[in-house]
Amino acid sequence: MNLFPPDTTHSGNPPARAKRSGKPHDTAEAPAPGVASVTQLIDKLSDYLTPAELKKVREAYRFSDEMHLGQVRKSGEPYISHPIAVAEICAEWKLDAQAIMAALLHDVIEDQDVKKEELIERFGAPVANLVDGLSKLEKIEFQSLVEAQAENFRKMLLAMASDVRVILIKLADRLHNMRTLGVMVPAKKRRIAGETMEVYVPIAHRLGLNNIYRELQDLAFSHLYPLRYRTLTKAVKSARGNRREVVKKILESVKQTLAMAGIQAEVYGREKTLFGIYKKMRNKHLSFSQVLDVYGFRVVVDNIPNCYVALGTLHGLYKPMPGKFKDYIAIRKINGYQSLHTTLIGPYGTPVEFQIRTQDMHRTAESGVAAHWLYKTGDQNMSDLQQRTHAWLQSLLDIQQQTGDSAEFLEHVKVDLFPDSVYVFTPKSKIIALPRGATALDFAYSIHTGIGDHCVAVKINNETQPLRTELHNGDIVEIVTDPDSRPSPTWLSYVRTGKARSAIRHHLRTINVNESVELGQDLLAQALAARGVTGELPASTIERVLAESSAKSMDELYADIGIGKRMPALVARHIFGLMDGGDDTLPSSAPLSGEIDPVTIYGSEGVSVQLAPCCLPIPGDGIVGQLRRDQGLVVHTADCLPAKRLRAKEPDRWIAVQWGEELNRRFDCRIRLLINNEKGILARVAAEIGESDGNITYVGMDEDDENMMTQLRFTIQVKDRVHLAHLIRNLRRVAGVNRVERERA
């Protein structure tokens, strides 16, 4: 998916920069019906801009018109109609003059090679900076299409971090391109609609721009699934007539009831978006006739207390559905949205959704951060919504500083754009918003990177819980830290936020470099030996490998292999190709079918080698190694079921490993006992484990209803498989123990 495609509306290559005409003009050629014109734009801007600001906007229009002279869109319209349309959308939000000027000029750097310095000279630095932030990347050759996409997305989001107007204009640009996408070929429609749904729709939602969010969703839906869109449109039109009487009856009842309660309110029905209906049908496997709440109602009152009074009044009119009430006023959504949501059983047993809010909440719900410009007050400070949006945008810079990989940056940001959130509390009652599925460790990193790095334990609602515990709305979370604690590679498997993932990876990259280098060297040697290459590599080959891999040294290349960032088999294949196709002599002619020495595992390695928590291998087990990105080598037992499934998907990431001969440490192992629940049984079992030279690190108990017995689960530390067999044999002799077995994933 190309996040910044070539302009969706150009016809062929853009013309060379036009010569400036001596006579400026206020209007382009007579526009075709439906095409934006500068006259309409100026009319809209006259409502809130001063004459001096309008004069500057006209200057920006003339310059843009001159630069795009002779350039047309795919539909045959003059290209200038596109910047005007983008500016008109921005004018609907009442964005300031600088933003309107930037909207008019947003393509001149990219298409006509206008220099930023010229824009600064003509229109000032703020406008030039906005245009520069909006401009697509200069013509840089990327190693892959994916990298180019990620780089473009990175530039857009980092520009947002300095000025949110950049993304507002960008969204207006995307909205107009989506409105005029019909002239494109089907394949291009699907590609652009796909990136809109994946990237721009979540951004609009994250910024609270609900009108654009809904329109972009439906436009993207219409081009991604045109047949489904047409079918659903027809069904909704048909249902609209059937349900008109129901909607009218509900409206009249609600207005009358609120008036009797003395509440002044605006009440109106709203139809759910086509994509919203489609998503509900798909997610819940419903037919259209089963989606009853196609319509919803909004109640807009004058103050917050009346929101709750109106809620109680509506609950007296119709019965509420259990579990369908949400209070987004007390705890607002992460994008600033506030309303009371309730679903009631209306006439004829139809579920009806109501949203209750104030006028201010309604403005924020419809325009999000743009409401800051829509309804300015005398207070020049940022609103609470602006501050929280700015904090999110600023967090992108934190990720950028810790992440060198563009694709990785894109992965982080996509995670944070996920709209569903949970709201938890610090011990001092501060509300923290996190993505749905976030864990206690994500909470620690959201407070501060240092707290996350040194986190050792967490208390959730005053109870100690594992760091991987998923958080839920209303949880009170307290983090326990230790200055000697450091991040573990296993943390990457359960953190949810981009900030936490980025910080952990940054830490892992900067510690135990020597260990990663040694492991990478062993893995590459093994992969080269599989191709018959042993011994020292020629200097000329090393030089070419470093140049083509962008690594500064062989140690850096080894370290990348050691942490799983590069695949040893692919690097070996590349080296073999260089040597086989060049003048270098292969260091050895060992047969390709020869036995390859496996990597030796001692179990005492640092972060670059881990024992898989799913199967907890111990010496004596057959083992295999999996190379995981930024987690190094993960060792599984040969019969581990999760490992077998992963190996079938990515066989290239698995290598041969073996246990070393001198293992001077103990290894965790899980066992399960089925016992009679009788007095003293736990003490007898624990004593026998101690007598067998085992060390207990965890014990758990649960009932086995089928056998009317109790299960004991232990994590114990043993020397090897022989030691474990001896311990299990002794436990089977304990009175009251019916069964003992090693527990596997």
State phi, psi for 68 to the nearest 5 degrees: -95, 10
Q: Angle 244-248-253 (CA atoms, 0-180°, nearest 5)?
A: 150
Which residue in 745, 740, 738 sits closest to 709, CA to CA?
Answer: 738
State the Cα torsion 334-215-339-280 to the nearest 10°: -90
> Residues 330-335: contacts with CB within 8 Å, 24+ apart?
331/423, 331/431, 331/473, 333/421, 333/433, 334/206, 334/388, 334/392, 334/421, 334/433, 335/205, 335/206, 335/207, 335/208, 335/368, 335/385, 335/389, 335/419
Which residue in 198, 132, 141, 140 sits closest to 170, CA to CA?
Answer: 132
- Distance between CA 645 and CA 415 in Å, rounded? 25
Dihedral sign for Cα 465, 467, 496, 460, please.
positive
- Distance between CA 714 and CA 673 in Å, rounded? 8
Respond yes or no: is residue 555 known to be catalytic.
no
Residues in CB range of 289: below 8 A, 6 or more apart: none
Contact 166, 133 (CB under 8 A): yes
Residues in CB range of 24: below 8 A, 6 or more apart: 62, 66
- Distance between CA 716 and CA 698 in Å, rounded? 7
Which residue in 211, 488, 469, 250 sits closest to 350, CA to CA?
Answer: 250
**DSSP, residue by residue, 163-203:** -THHHHHHHHHHHHHHHTGGGS-HHHHHHHHHHIIIIIHHH
Which residue in 294, 370, 298, 384 sits closest to 339, CA to CA?
Answer: 298
Spell out a b/e string for 123-134, using b for 16 or more CB atoms within 10 Å of the CB, else e: beebbbbbbbbb
- Distance between CA 148 and CA 145 in Å, rounded? 5
Which residue in 505, 398, 497, 510 sits closest to 441, CA to CA?
Answer: 497
Centroid of chain to Cα 404: 17
- Distance between CA 194 and CA 530 in Å, rounded? 42
Look-up: residue for tokens 């030691």?
723
Query: What Rg value do the Cα atoms of the chain yield, rounded?
Result: 32
Amino acid letter at 457?
Answer: A
Contact 533, 587 (CB under 8 A): yes
Given the residues 77, 111, 408, 621, select the one marked as catalytic.
111
Respond yes or no: is residue 111 known to be catalytic.
yes
| Per-residue DSSP letter, 272 | P
Given the residues 77, 88, 110, 453, select the one marked as catalytic.
110
Question: Where in the sequence numbering do the catalytic residues fall?
Answer: 110-111
